[in-house]
Amino acid sequence: MQNIGNLLKGKIAGPETGIEIKKSVCAICDPMTQCGLDLYVKDGQVIKVEGSEENPYSKGSLCSKGAANRQYLYSEERIRTPLKRVGPKGSGTFQPITWAEALDTIGEKLHQAKVETGPESVVFFAGYTKWFRPYLKRLAHSFGSPNYATESSTCYQAMAMAQRLVFGLPGGPDLPNTNCLLVWSSNPFHTNPGVAKAVLRGLKRGMKLIVVDPRQTPTTSRADIHLQLRPGTDGALALSMANVIISEGLYDKDFVANYTYGFEEYRAYIQTFPPARGEELTGVPADKIVAAARMFATVKNACIMPSSAPVVHHTNGLQNYRAVFMLVGLTGNYDVKGGNLVNPPSFVYQAGNFATREHEFEQSRAFSAMAQRIGAEEFPVWMDVADGQAQAMSIPDQIRSGRPYPIRAILAFGMNFRMWPDSLGMRRSLEDLDFLVNVDVFMTETCKYADLVLPACTSMERSELRCYNMGYVLYTQPAIPPLYESRSDADIIYALAERLCPEDALFRAGYEASIDWILEPSGMTTAELKKHPGGMFVPNPRILPERKYETGGFKTPSGKMEFVSTVIARYQERPGFDPLPVYRPSKYSREASPELARKYPLILNTGSRLPMFVHTRTYRLSWPSSLRPNHPSADLNPVDAEALGLRQDDEVRLSTLMGAIRVKVNLTQMVQPGMVCMYHGFGQADVNELFEKDYLDPISGFPGFKSALCSVEKV
Ligand SMILES: Nc1nc2c(c(=O)[nH]1)N[C@H]1C(S)=C(S)[C@@H](COP(=O)(O)OP(=O)(O)OC[C@H]3O[C@@H](n4cnc5c(=O)[nH]c(N)nc54)[C@H](O)[C@@H]3O)O[C@H]1N2
Ligand SMILES: Nc1nc2c(c(=O)[nH]1)N[C@H]1C(S)=C(S)[C@@H](COP(=O)(O)OP(=O)(O)OC[C@H]3O[C@@H](n4cnc5c(=O)[nH]c(N)nc54)[C@H](O)[C@@H]3O)O[C@H]1N2
Ligand SMILES: [Mo]
């Protein structure tokens, strides 16, 4: 006889214990990492969380954050009911209201703004969370507002823009098949466990690894060559590598002759970047530049793994990444097996090897039938080639100036004003709005400035569609009903659609019918997917040929891969809009602002991911935050610490020309001398307060979070 007490203590699932295993996904990071969860549920309570073995991406593993999903789910800081602010903005004084009152109020307020100042005066915003974006974008467009904006104004888009300007369509690294992986700034061992495992598998089969990173990381420690450049000098490094590849005749002459535009101008330009100059500009020894260039150009096939953030978080980031991606074409590695393969996304940025109607669903009204988007005047290239969003970095200024038209209201899902540079300025702008709604799982600082706050549930309590690049799809079902009065974001969007755009037939048909409509070209349905709670492989995966450009051309205006951008050329009278990938040092750097560098001698590089934190999400959880002292700290090399008379955990003032914050110092060899690294999103010491609102890349509008100038002094 089994002892039921022991089975219960061991949390063993089965009829004896009444414990059921329910399938879900972890959405603490989103969406590239979405590990499968096995949730042990008894009496409507999640009593244990495990990684799901059947998920082909995560294969049973969970990171330090995913393991804390119960703490996330049952956090005391969860919002329980819809709330109406009754005290002053920021006071955090709220009164519970019913869902009906909340939804009706939003319907009335947004309708009023639409009538008085036009639908474009209402912004529909999503923070880092991505799973519900197609529905939110449709809501904006069906309402008539072009102003759907997201965290992608600081993440991913600029990288995608750089690739689109060069190739038309972005290509992703073909990790399983490549023989040489050039990781141009990513540290998957901290940011994406599935990719880290793929890197390890590649190394086992003899793949060469080159990593470009100013720090030492678990990724660089595995590299054949680590190019430890100074932050923000990526363009100079790429141009110098191109100099070696071209002068040694290692480039793909056939591809260059037949499929590229502007090569002669580019070749003339890179003449000025011999390895010795590359060393001077980047700090990477010339012999390493030569060795890396030769390896990347001669090992076949080779690919570049880019990242959504580090290279583009500079005032010269977009041009730098263009120079980097050109190396893929130069060496004939675009859209080939083991190179950078073009495989368009199926759903929410993820390639799943199936076709959908996601884009048609989202864009329920053409941009030409709406007002111009926020940021259109400052960032025209964004409007030409980014993914159909407004540039959210222009929101704070436009709220204040009312130009070119007023912004009256924001309907936000997971907005965090600390995502913006000059975060306090963004917060002040939010105070100027007539009406702000924030939908979040937790009562955050930003919620305190909202007029209405709505409680969202977590991934464990909702139903969502996700896909994986090995051709795997998942349509999750709630493991437990939403806690308290929380609701899924999608349910909230559909309830608002009844009030904001009642004529929209797909919204009227409902959430699941919408997903079926989106999935139609794939032949899959939600009914079928529900039979596979842990997910399933796509029945007839879409396998695209290599070198698609041979038949269709490149999706650029010239139809070729562009060394000289015909899109940027449209605006070349503007400073920084060079059609060639011209290298300019970061606006605030020893090279470009020597005066400032005398007062602020260190490079401020922020936001390198820590394994236990995800932006503002996990500071509140005791398991992850027990892994690193939970006080804001800045990383400093011991050489700099000694020169400044600092010891581990000393309190310092970290200053830029915008102001100062107080943090502790953490001494580590991971950062190179001359560089200060600080994680973002701490309310008590927010490094984004130290960046000016217009410290942005002129083309992409991305903030220069990874190269400003700062000083550190003991307090
Ligand atoms: N200095 C500096 N700043 C940076 C960066 C940097 O490297 N350095 N990185 C930038 C990048 S790349 C990114 S992606 C952004 C991240 O930008 P943020 O949007 O600031 O990221 P989070 O803090 O993770 O998420 C915002 C909110 O979403 C809420 N949320 C979580 N799950 C859900 C959900 O299911 N529904 C709803 N409605 N809300 C939910 C969270 O509770 C949180 O309050 O920060 C950018 N800012
Ligand atoms: N644990 C955890 N995982 C995450 C997140 C998180 O917050 N926590 N956030 C998610 C999000 S939103 C994103 S965008 C991704 C980011 O994913 P990754 O890009 O993999 O991670 P980062 O740590 O931002 O940056 C990678 C490396 O870039 C280096 N770097 C910094 N400046 C420069 C530079 O100027 N040039 C070059 N070449 N390299 C530079 C850093 O030293 C760092 O080691 O991670 C995702 N995954
Ligand atoms: Mo990001």
* Residue nearest (by alpha carbon) to ligand 2 atom 20: 186
Q: CATH no. for residue 222?
A: 3.40.228.10
Instruction: Establish whether residue 232 lines the binding site of ligand 2, counting it when its CB lies within 6 angstroms of any ligand atom.
Output: yes
Residue 30 CA, ligand 1 centroid: distance in Å: 10
227 shares its domain with 293: yes
26 shares its domain with 150: no
The predicted structure's pLDDT at residue 144: 98
Nearest-angstrom CA–CA distance, 512 and 526: 7
- Summarised one tens digit per residue, pLDDT across range 411-429 is 999 999 999 999 999 999 9
Enumerate long-range contacts of 422-430, CB under 8 Å, 24 or more apart: 422/396, 422/658, 422/688, 422/689, 422/691, 422/692, 422/693, 423/686, 423/688, 423/689, 424/689, 425/396, 425/693, 426/395, 426/396, 426/693, 428/396, 429/395, 429/396, 429/397, 429/399, 429/400, 430/89, 430/399
Mean pLDDT (whole number) for 194-202? 95
337 shares its domain with 354: no
90 belongs to a structural domain: yes
Mean pLDDT (whole number) for 159-172? 98
Specify the DSSP element, H or E, that contains 21: strand 20-25
510 shares its domain with 609: no
Instruction: Yes or no: say if 140 and 412 are a contact pair by the CB < 8 Å rule.
Output: no
584 belongs to a structural domain: no
Nearest-angstrom CA–CA distance, 347 and 326: 27
- Where b means 16+ CB within 10 Å and e means fewer, 7-25 reads eeeeeebeeebebebbbbb
286 shares its domain with 396: no
Minimum-distance ligand to the CA of 461?
1
303 shares its domain with 427: no
Nearest to 430 by CA among 407, 413, 414, 453: 407
Residue 308 CA, ligand 2 centroid: distance in Å: 8
Nearest-angstrom CA–CA distance, 114 and 532: 43
Asked if the model's pLDDT at residue 260 lies above 70, the reply is yes
201 belongs to a structural domain: yes
Q: CATH no. for residue 68?
A: 2.20.25.90
393 shares its domain with 493: yes
Instruction: Yes or no: say if 611 and 196 are a contact pair by the CB < 8 Å rule.
Output: no
Helices in 299-331 by DSSP H: which ranges?
317-330
Nearest-angstrom CA–CA distance, 556 and 381: 13
Nearest-angstrom CA–CA distance, 62 and 56: 13
CA–CA distances in Å: residue 492 to residues 112, 147, 510: 20, 19, 12
The predicted structure's pLDDT at residue 550: 97
Residue 156 CA, ligand 3 centroid: distance in Å: 7
Q: CATH no. for residue 92?
A: 3.40.50.740
Instruction: Yes or no: say if 340 and 175 are a contact pair by the CB < 8 Å rule.
Output: no
The predicted structure's pLDDT at residue 630: 66
Nearest to 654 by CA among 663, 642, 644: 663
pTM of structure: 0.98
59 belongs to a structural domain: yes
The predicted structure's pLDDT at residue 629: 74
Instruction: Establish whether residue 218 lines the binding site of ligand 2, counting it when its CB lies within 6 angstroms of any ligand atom.
Output: no
99 belongs to a structural domain: yes
Q: Residue 405: which domain range? A: 83-156+347-537
Mean pLDDT (whole number) for 5-34? 92
Nearest-angstrom CA–CA distance, 253 and 259: 10
The pair of structure tokens assigned to 636 is 């400093």
The predicted structure's pLDDT at residue 33: 77
Mean pLDDT (whole number) for 120-130? 98
Residue 683 CA, ligand 3 centroid: distance in Å: 18
DSSP 186: -
The predicted structure's pLDDT at residue 1: 52
Minimum-distance ligand to the CA of 702?
1
Q: 2 falls in which pLDDT band (50, 70, 90)?
A: low
Q: Residues 307, 208, 225, CA angle at the centre, nearest 5°?
A: 75
If one compares 194 and 246, the residue with the highest pLDDT of the two is: 246
For the chain, the domain total comes to 4
Q: CATH no. for residue 695?
A: 2.40.40.20
373 shares its domain with 490: yes
Domain boundary among 46, 73, 100: 73
120 shares its domain with 248: no
373 shares its domain with 518: yes
428 shares its domain with 374: yes
